[in-house]
């Protein structure tokens, strides 16, 4: 198996949030609906701050 790492992009935010919600710690606090349009802007804002 060959794994490739790359820097995340803004389009990756919904998938990142989905992964967080599947984690035991994220189950209680993360907001996610399978409809990607429902991702709160808060997640995009946090992503932008962390990738400045």
Kindly report whether the global pTM for this prediction surpasses the value 0.85: no
2 Rama sector, left if φ>0, alpha if ψ -120 to 50, beta otherwise: beta
Q: What's the pLDDT score for residue 37?
A: 62
Tokens coding 48: 């932008």
Q: What's the pLDDT score for residue 5?
A: 93
User: What secondary structure does DSSP assign to the chain, as a single string?
Assistant: ---------GGGHHHHHHHHHHSTTGGGT----SSGGGS-HHHHHHHHHHT-
Q: What's the pLDDT score for residue 8?
A: 94
Q: What's the pLDDT score for residue 34?
A: 62
Gap between the Cα atoms of 38 and 24, Å rounded: 22
Gap between the Cα atoms of 47 and 1, Å rounded: 29
Domain boundaries, the chain: 10-50
Mean pLDDT per 10-residue run, the chain (52 residues)? 93 88 70 66 92 80
Q: What's the pLDDT score for residue 40?
A: 84
């Amino acid at each position: 198996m060959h794994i490739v790492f790359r820097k995340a992009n803004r389009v990756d935010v919904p998938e990142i949030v989905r992964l967080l919600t599947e984690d035991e710690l994220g189950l209680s606090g993360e907001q996610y609906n399978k409809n990607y349009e429902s991702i709160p802007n808060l997640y995009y804002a946090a992503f932008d701050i962390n990738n400045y």
